[in-house]
Amino acid sequence: MTDLINKKIILVNSIKIAPMLIQHEEKEDRKGSFFVMGDNAPLAEMTYSMPNSKLMIIQHTEVDDVLQGKHVGQQLIDAAVNYAKDNDLKIFPLCPFVKAVFTKNEDKYKDVWNK
């Protein structure tokens, strides 16, 4: 019986995903990123540019292997979408990953998606 309880606990713990601390950096050249910082470098990063004051082009998303399977890419998207909503922006997902997520969940992102 103890083995069954321990196995259930391991299973529950293996699917529990803690939110990452997503940081945001804006640069002077109308570019920026949302990222998860490791000890010395970002472990996950989504880069964007702002060609004008109302459009964010998400260019690239990359997640280190150590964070694979922890839904960090989705958390980066959520951070970008929240930022867009807070700042009355539209998002053009040039990044294939972000475009795939937007396409799969079109209703969820229709208010910020610049198709």
Q: What's the confidence (pLDDT) of residue 42?
A: 87
Q: 81 is written with which tokens? A: 């979408």
Rounded Cα distance between 20 and 66, Å, is: 13
Tens digit of each residue's pLDDT (9 = 90 or more) over 44-98: 999 999 999 999 999 999 999 988 888 899 999 999 999 999 999 999 999 999 9
Q: What's the confidence (pLDDT) of residue 18?
A: 57
Tens digit of each residue's pLDDT (9 = 90 or more) over 7-46: 433 333 333 445 668 889 999 899 999 999 888 888 899 9
Q: Is 40 helix (H, G, I), strand (E, B) or coil?
A: coil
Q: What are phi and psi of 83, to 5 degrees?
A: -65, -45
Which residue type does 74 have?
Answer: Q
